[in-house]
């Protein structure tokens, strides 16, 4: 029997290529892609696309780990929920040139890219992405499937609700609370709290429109005690 570590990657896109590169550098030897565009899509660069999500659910026993490489936050969350419901071994991937404090905590399925920094006592929810050269400072609390885009800087003690997106080069001031399903435009400066389901942009960031959030109601942004509702793992426990 082979001793090579096998990883299933759900999502054969440009983001998936970057995730695959991180996986190789993190020591995974065999990578297999799954994508809902299968069977029209059977290759992703030099990797095989072996099937769609239902096929991956049937193949879970063949893999030591699974990661979802889908950039859309709400879709990534839905796929992760389906995989976890079937007992998938969801792993986090951290680029060897990222800096993650041993006192930070990552939920399952996080991806931390090259040059990213996650400082002490920051908490990242399931499926969160900290992209190239982005930073998440001390005591931040990110809900499930948040994406901090390349070069964005999130100062200390910031709270970001699930499926929110902080655009490339944006800055979030210390102590700010951002609700769920918020889209922060590239280069924006968030200097005050942002309610959920909004698109904000500019310096300072101001609302432009409602975002396409995952919820149909207009609930207020979650309180600090309600943003995180999942089991966290320490970076020392990553696969």
CATH number, span 6-91? 3.40.50.20
Distance in angstroms (rounded) separating the CA atoms of residues 81 and 25: 27
Distance in angstroms (rounded) separating the CA atoms of residues 194 and 202: 13
Question: Would you state the pLDDT for residue 18?
Answer: 97
pLDDT digits (tens, 9 = 90+) for 41-54: 999 998 999 999 99
At 79, the pLDDT band (50, 70, 90 cuts) reads very high
Q: What is the pTM of this model?
A: 0.86
Question: Would you state the pLDDT for residue 137?
Answer: 98
For residue 58, what are the CA distances in angstroms to 36, 55, 63, 97, 225?
14, 5, 11, 34, 37
**Strand 43-44, strand 6-10: pairing:** unpaired
Question: Would you state the pLDDT for residue 231?
Answer: 36
Residue spans of the domains in the chain: they are 6-91, 92-228
pLDDT digits (tens, 9 = 90+) for 165-207: 999 999 999 999 999 999 999 999 999 999 999 999 999 999 9
Distance in angstroms (rounded) separating the CA atoms of residues 88 and 66: 7
Question: Would you state the pLDDT for residue 211?
Answer: 65
pLDDT of residue 238 exceeding 50, the answer is no
Q: Answer whether 232's CB lies under 8 Å from 106's CB.
A: yes
pLDDT digits (tens, 9 = 90+) for 108-118: 999 999 999 99
Average pLDDT value for residue range 5-15: 96
Q: How many Cα atoms within 13 Å fall on the side-chain side of residue 80?
A: 26
Question: Would you state the pLDDT for residue 209?
Answer: 73
Question: Would you state the pLDDT for residue 223?
Answer: 36
Tokens of 61: 């026993």
> Which residues does 84 contact at the CB level (< 8 Å), separation at least 6?
90, 108
Q: What percent of the chain shows pLDDT beyond 70?
A: 86
Over the chain, what is the mean pLDDT?
A: 89
At 213, the pLDDT band (50, 70, 90 cuts) reads very low
Domain 92-228 superfamily per CATH: Hexapeptide repeat proteins (2.160.10.10)
Distance in angstroms (rounded) separating the CA atoms of residues 154 and 166: 9
Distance in angstroms (rounded) separating the CA atoms of residues 149 and 127: 14
Most confident among 32-36, 219-223, 226-230 (mean pLDDT): 32-36
Tokens of 156: 């200390």
């Amino acid at each position: 029997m082979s001793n090579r570590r096998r990883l299933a990657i759900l999502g054969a896109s440009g983001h998936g290529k970057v995730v695959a590169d991180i996986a190789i550098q993190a020591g995974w030897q065999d990578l297999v892609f799954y994508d809902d565009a299968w069977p029209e899509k059977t290759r992703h660069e030099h990797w095989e696309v072996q099937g769609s999500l239902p096929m991956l659910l049937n193949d879970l026993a063949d893999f030591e780990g699974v990661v979802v490489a889908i950039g859309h936050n709400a879709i990534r969350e839905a796929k992760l929920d389906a995989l976890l419901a079937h007992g998938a071994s969801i792993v986090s991937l951290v680029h060897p040139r990222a800096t993650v404090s041993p006192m930070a905590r990552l939920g399952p399925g996080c991806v931390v890219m090259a040059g990213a920094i996650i400082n002490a006592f920051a908490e990242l929810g399931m499926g969160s992405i900290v992209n190239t050269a982005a930073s998440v400072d001390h005591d931040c609390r990110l809900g499930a499937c948040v994406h901090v885009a390349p070069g964005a800087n999130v100062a200390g003690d910031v709270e970001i609700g699930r499926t929110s997106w902080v655009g490339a080069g944006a800055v979030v001031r210390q102590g700010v609370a951002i609700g769920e399903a918020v889209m922060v435009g590239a280069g924006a400066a968030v200097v005050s709290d942002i309610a959920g389901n909004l698109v904000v942009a500019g310096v300072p960031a101001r609302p432009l429109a409602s975002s396409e959030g995952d919820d149909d109601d207009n609930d207020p942004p979650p309180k600090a005690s309600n943003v995180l509702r999942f089991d966290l793992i320490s970076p020392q426990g990553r696969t």
